[in-house]
């Protein structure tokens, strides 16, 4: 099943699909760039919502301080992205 056509059936808003596409692309790129032993990208649709899960088996971030710093940067970016989105009803 093609992801794009399935998502269009559930979420007809082009703006929403574009932003979702950016998020999925970023997750996919991070898996391709940062993993050493592969990974898994899963897209789940439920109750008019989308859950994107990216899992890898790489070594991870060595220091908790660096991990927290990267998490906070991602959190700020996602907050900006989500606040600019118009969610489908």
Q: What tokens does 80 get?
A: 């900006």
Give the up-direction half-sphere exposure of residue 26: CA atoms within 13 A in the CB hemisphere. 11
Per-residue model confidence (pLDDT) at position 89: 52
Distance CA 71, CA 78 (A): 10
Q: What's the length of the chain?
A: 89
pLDDT over 70 for what percent of the chain? 82
State both tokens at 49.
């919502």
**Mean pLDDT, the chain, as a whole number?**
78
- pLDDT value of position 82: 72
CA distances for 5 relative to 14, 28, 30, 71, angstroms: 12, 18, 24, 31
pTM over 0.75: no
Q: What pLDDT, on the 0 to 100 scale, is given for residue 83?
A: 74
């Amino acid at each position: 099943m093609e992801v794009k056509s399935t998502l269009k059936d559930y979420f007809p808003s082009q703006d929403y699909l574009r932003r979702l596409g950016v998020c999925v692309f970023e997750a996919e790129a991070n898996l391709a760039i940062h993993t050493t032993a592969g990974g898994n990208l899963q897209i789940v649709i439920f109750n008019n919502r989308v859950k994107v899960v990216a899992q890898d088996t790489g070594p991870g971030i060595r220091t908790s301080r660096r991990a927290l710093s990267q998490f906070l940067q991602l959190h700020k970016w996602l907050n900006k992205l989500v606040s600019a989105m118009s969610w489908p009803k």
